[in-house]
Structure formats: structure tokens, C-alpha cells
A and B are shown apart, each in its own frame.
Chain A
Amino acid sequence: MEPIMAVVIGVIYATAIYMMLRRSIVKLVIGLILISNAANLLIFATAGMTRDAPPLIPMNGGPMAEVIADPLPQALVLTAIVIAFGVLSFAVVLIRRAYQIVGVDDMDQMKDTDT
């Protein structure tokens, strides 16, 4: 499954970068969402993908599966998802403020610190 995911991740990265290169600031935000998702998937998939073996230890003290999914990348990605949301919400409110002040959605017109 990992090679397919590699292609999917490449596609998400490409779309994210394309969106981040647009002049519209709203598209930049969508680019941000895409790129953080791509990064999360990258970490998750590179660590190896395991089916039907969540990193849980049976409550009754029963035996554990032979192979279980690596819990560490999962913990890292979990943190990353939440932080990406924090960054995103900040960015969204920021561009909303910027739009209110500058009055345009075009990044080329936000070059100066004076506006």
C-alpha cells in the first residue's frame, strides 16, 4: 500500500504548493490545509502501514498480536494534526483581518508594510 500512498502524497504536495503560489490569499489557506495533511500522511505512511493491529494492549491481560502498528509515529501525527489546526485557525483570522484593513484579496498588493 505504501507505494500508492507515496503517489497520493506527491499529488497532495503538488496541489498544496500550487495553491500556495496563487495570488489569492484564500487559496493560500487551502494550500496550508493541503500541505499539513500531506505532511501528516507522509510521516504516517513512511513508518510503515499495518492492517488490523492497533497499538492497544488487551484489557484482560490476553496475549498481544505478533505485529502491531508502531505507536510512536501515530503519537507524533496526532500532535501534528492538532497543531496544524492551531496554526490554520490563526492564519485564517489573520488573513481575515488583513482583508478588512487592506480591502483586497491579492497578495501582490500586500507587499508594503504601509498598507
Chain B
Amino acid sequence: MQIAVLAGFALAILVPLLSRWCGGRTGLILALYPASIAFWLVSLAPEVLQSGGIYFEQAWAPSLGLSLSFWLDGLSLLFGLLISGIGTLIIIYASGYLHGHPQLARFYVLILSFMSSMLGVVMADGLMTLFVFWELTSITSYLLIGFNHEDAAARKSALQGLLVTFTGGLALMSGLILLNVVGGSWSLQTLLNDGETLREHALYLPMLLCLLGGAFTKSAQFPFHFWLPNAMAAPTPVSAYLHSATMVKAGIYLMARLQPGLGGTEAWTTILCVIGAITMVVGAFLAIRFTGIKKVLAYSTVMALGTLTMLLGIGGEAAMIAFVTFLTAHSLYKGALFMVAGALDHETGTKDIDEMGGLCRFMPVTAACAFVAALSLGGVIPLFGFVAKELLFEAVLDAPRFTGFLIGMSLLASVLVVAAAGIVALRPFFGALKETPKTPHEAPPSMLAGPCVLAGLSLVLGFMPWLAGDGLLNAAAGAVMGTEVVTDLYLWHGLNTALMMSMVSLGVGLLVCWRWPGVRGVIHRFSPVLDRGPEAGYWKLMDLLVRVAEWQTRLLQSGYMRNYLILTLLSFTGLTGYTLLVRHGPVFDLALDVRLQEVVVALVIAASAIVACMMRSRLAAVAAAGVMGFGIALIFLLFSAPDLAITQLLIETLTVILLILVLFRMPQFSSLSTPMERVRDMFVAIITGGLMTLLMLTVLGQDLFTSISEYMIDNSVPLGHGHNIVNVILVDFRALDTLGEIFVLSLAAIGVLAMLRLQAKERKTP
């Protein structure tokens, strides 16, 4: 299973080579990957349906208890089939749509990586596996939206999508970690089997909000819906695949996946129903506001995502069947419609519906596909979309809570969607022929295959819904429910309330479609209000972010070293001092055992340090520093460290010589700082020094652990054959440290030499 998921990444790496060898046929070859995944899934289907799921696990980071684990059940199977099936058609379609595009290979790389990530999301069992693949879909989506990266608008939209989904990703991560904390496992299966514990835990609500935050941003739920229509800056195959059929459904998938464990509570039902219903109506309403064909479709996708969320919120068997049916139907018709939109754009050179008309004469096949798919979108008998819509209405009518509100919202949304369907499928193809930037002609076969297959499926499944329903959809709904589901799907449900609602929505919707320009005029009057939507908030936030970043950069990155130093030191003393004094409490061990000569040396050291920083003369300062160094050597000598004393003496002598040689050529000390600055610096210096003293006194009072040098003392002669233990440690026990030290010294020497040589050369040139 992991091979199937990861093969896409491997293939993506090979694409540049492949495209060099195969040229224009690369797309067809690459389409074999999703096609084979689809076949593989179909071959696994009987086993999955019978056993309830296949599990696979591979150790990943065993020390953290993490593993790369996958889980294929009904829900995963349904999503996997949609991803791989539509993916196959999309790659074929893209090979026509982007034919001759210089960056076609890059496109394949990205779309294959995306496909693999998406398969990973829907098959993941480990929470972290899920999260990693989830973020991968965000990244690949970002790259795909910004595919036309020379276009500033595309870049902006891509970044917007990325920021929104990544913010959600962070929430998701917190949610998943909470899930792990509460449920005590990294495996979704284990967690969901024990839903009781999750639902009754005190952390249930925060956890739910975090997880839904991830799902809502990804699935463009209100008020995060604005990134999705902007993502239409991507090439059409990307829009068709990521932003209607697959990626945006990842959030829906997550909610469906969590439903058995977290669903059914009051919070769950309320949030999902209300947000879902609002998203549904907002999406459908905004859809008829725009004339760009992709925008209309994008907003109708938002509507569909809202519907799916709402159905998950309602819960129960009817709603779950409606959920999986609507999901499948939507993927089929929306994929087809997007591909049709791409074909129109490709062949006419415009995306504006107002500029198209009468195209069915030139593009009959495209028109037929669009018509069938739009009928499904509008929910007209006998298409699969009709079955889905009937089930939706039935589920809403049965809703245990908010029934009236949900019925009203659903009816309103479906009226608007029928109008949108009409706008997309009727207006460009019928009516008077309009002048388009390119002379229209039928799209190439590669671009027709996709819409034809998907529209065809919508039609076939409409007549024979049991083909999908009996096995796959029941299994998927069962996975969402957490129990077995057996519901037969029919095209004809008889004359009931749902059918009535369907009819009403159809009639009113067509009316809206007919009167579209007028309706748009009315909506247009409300533009000032609509433009203040969540997107305006997003831009304000971005502006604010930039301004805060500028302000704090100016504040922190002043370019003066002492500012950095002061800030670092004050943070250090503040934090350490707080911990030391408040948390730990000042506990000192002041047992004194001193001899006179030692105290004298210590006084000399301290005094010479003070003198060194008070001297006006460079020579005197260096001399004072030297005195301090020699004093330290004496301390080493007095306290049984002869090697240190020797080294210190040598180095101190060298230092003084070096300083005198070099500083001799530097200017005299001059008084540069004001008295105020001196006082400030003294303050910083004294509190830092004082803290160091306190720290050391505290440490002296503690006996944290015994020294590890026992081993070195014991083995110095037997193993190191040396009687001076310090020397043996340096050249034997810790020889690597010494090697590192030699490296540092050599580097310093090379640096010094380079700087001196550079100087010599410069002198010659002028």
C-alpha cells in the first residue's frame, strides 16, 4: 500500500527524463499511474467490502511510537477511486490543455506529487502520517495554483490559499495532538473505536474546534471560503482536480473520518449544520454573482462543500448515504464541468460567460457533456445528481435538529445552484453567436475524453445507481457511520416531499437563470456590503502583518551591536534571574576556607579587571588585562592545575604581545559615549555580572551528580599509558575534541593569513 502511495513521488522524480524521451506522449504514459492505482483499488474492493478494511503498518520513528500506517476501508476506497479515476482523466486532459506549454513537465511533477499526497491523506491511519500528507497537499496545491508564476495575481492567490490552509494545518496539528493526548494512541482506528472516551473528555471541545479548523480551511467553509475561487488562477486541469474533485474534499474526508469517534454530539451537530448551511447558501449565492465561468463553478463547489458538511452534521443513516452519494455525484459532474470550462477557455480565448454564445454549433461534443453534467449539477432526473439531491432533501427533512432552518437553506441553495447550472451549460452554447477572441472549434480528443467519461458516468449511475450504491457507497457510508449500512439507491423515489422540493427548486432556478442579467444587476447593488466579506478581513490582516513585521524589524535590527548585546543580556538576566530567584529561591552555601595568598591573588584579578576598563591608555589597558591573566595563572597553580597554569602563562604572554603589536597601529582611545550611555551600560554589566555570581553560588550549593572523571583517573595508566591525567584526557580520551580544537586554530590561522595577504596585494595595486 505504501508503495502505491509513494510511487507517485518516485514517478514525479522521473518525469523530466521521461518527458525528454517521450515528448508529447508523456501525459498518456503518466496517466497509467493513476489508472493502475484505480485498477488496484478495484481489485482490492471485494476484500475491503468483506473484511471491513485492510491495514498496513511500517515502523517510522519507533522511539516516538510513530509508524507509517495505512488503512483502506470503504471511505478510503471511495476517495481513492475518485482521486485515481479522475486523476487519470485529468492527466490526459492536461496533456491536451497544456499542449506545447514549456513547463508541462513541471506540471506533471506537481500533479503526480499531489496525487500521491492525496492518496496518502485518505489512506493514512497514523495521525502523523495523515498530517504529513495533508500538508503535502497544501504545498503542492500552492505550487499548482501559482503554476503561472509570472502572473502576479496567480502568485497572490497561491499565497492566499497556502496561508489559509496552513493556518488550518496548524490548528489540525494541535487537534491531532490533542486527539493523541486524549485517546492515547496515534492510530485513527484505535482512537475511533473508542469514541466514548473522546466525546466525554474535558478537552473534547477544544480538540473538536482545532480539528474542524483544519477541515474548514481546507474545505473552504464559510468564513474561509474566499481562497477557493481565487485559486482558480491555476490552470483549468488543476482547478478541476484539486479545487473541485479532490483536495478541497480532504477536509470533508477528515470530518467524515472522525464522525464515528467525535460525531453526534451537540457541539458537532450545531457547528457542522450551521456552518455547512451558511457555506452552502453563501456559495450558491455568490456563484450567480460572477460572469467568469470558473468563478461560477468555484462558488458552486463551495456550495457543494457546505452541503457535505451539513450532511455530516445531521448524522444518521439517511444523511450518510446522501453524503457519499452527493460526494460522488459532485466529483463526477464538477470535474466534467471544469474540463468543459477549460475547453471553452482554450478554444474561444475567454473565460467570461457574457462573451460566449451559440457555441453548440462549433463544439457539439463539449456542449453535450456540459449539458449532461449541468443537468446533474442542477439535480434533474434522470442524472446521478438527481439521486443525490433527492437523498439530500430526504436527509434534511429527517434532520433531528434545526429542521426548518436546514430545509429553508437547502431549498434556497438548490434554487441558486440550478440557476448556476443553467448559466454554465446553456448560456455559452445557445442563443446568438458572439464574437470571441479565438475562432471557436471543437476541442481535441484528449480534452474531450475526461468530460465525456464523467458526464457519461453521471448518466449511467443516474439510471443504475445500485451499480455504485450496493457495494461502494454503502461501505463508505458504513465507514462514516461506524456501523454497517444497507440502503438501496433508486432513481425514482416516488411522489414525495423531496420530489416536490426538487421541482420547486428547478422551476425557480430556471427562472433565475433566464433573468440572470437582471438578477445580477440587483445583486450588484449590494456589492459594497459583499465586498466587506471575510476576504477583506484577510487582506487587512496581511497588511497588519507586514506593518508589524516592519516595525519590529526596525526595532530589533538596529544595526548597532550594543543594542543586540543589551537585548540579549537583559533577556538572559531577566529569564534566568526570574527562574533562579522566584522558582528556585536563593539557596547559597557560603562555607569559606581561605588562605591569605589566595585572597590577595583574587583581589589582584578583580582589581586589574576593573582597571583594564577604566584606563584611557591602550597600553595600560592591555597591561591590566595581562596582569589579570597572570593572576588567573596563579590561581590555576595554587589549585592543583599546573597544566592550565603553564598554558595560561604562555597564551597570556602571546596575547599581550599580539595586542601591543596590532593595537599600536590603532588610534588612541577616545571618549565616544555620553555619561547616560555609560550609566546604562554599567547597569547592564553589573546586573549580568551579579547574576553570574549568584548563579555560581547557587551551583556550588548543589551536588547534582558525581564527576565522570573517575573512569579517566582509573584508566589513565592502564589504557592511556600516561601519568598526567589531564594530558591523557586531551590526547586520548577526548582526542576528537582536541582534533576539533586544532581545526579551529588552523582556520583562525588561515583567516589571519588571508587578511594579511589581502592587505599586501591591495598595497601593490594603487
Contacts and interface: CB of A to CB of B under 8 A. Distances in A.
* Interface size range on B against A: 35 or more
B566 interface: yes
Interface residues of A, number: 85
A10 to B, nearest CB: 3
B33 to A, nearest CB: 50
B613 interface: yes
B640 A51 contact: yes
A8 B602 contact: yes
A81 B635 contact: no
A44 to B, nearest CB: 7
| Chain B interface main SS type | helix
Interface string B625-657: 100110010011011111110011001001100
Contacts of B654: 85
B29 interface: no
Contacts of B725: 55-57, 71
B560 A111 contact: yes
Interface in B455-496: none
Contact of A71 (B565, B686, B709, B737): B709
A88 B655 contact: yes
A106 B559 CA distance: 13
Contacts, number: 266
B741 A83 contact: yes
Interface string B654-671: 110011001101110110
A99 B647 contact: no
Contacts of A89: 658, 748, 752
Contacts of A57: 713, 716-717, 723-725
B683 to A, nearest CB: 10
A72 B717 contact: no
B696 A96 contact: no
Q: Which of B562, B609, B666 has the most CB of A within 10 A?
A: B609
Q: Which of B560, B665, B689, B747 has the most CB of A within 10 A?
A: B689
B594 A1 contact: yes
Contacts of B625: 30, 33-34
Given A26-B618, A57-B717, A97-B759, A14 B730 contact: no
Contacts of A49: 639
A70 B659 CA distance: 33
B536 interface: no
Nearest to B604: A8
Contact of B638 (A6, A22, A51, A108): A51
B569 interface: yes
11 contacts: A1-B639, A5-B635, A15-B610, A26-B669, A33-B629, A52-B640, A56-B724, A57-B713, A85-B655, A95-B666, A111-B560
Ranked 5 nearest A-B pairs via Cβ: A14-B689, A10-B693, A69-B640, A18-B685, A86-B748
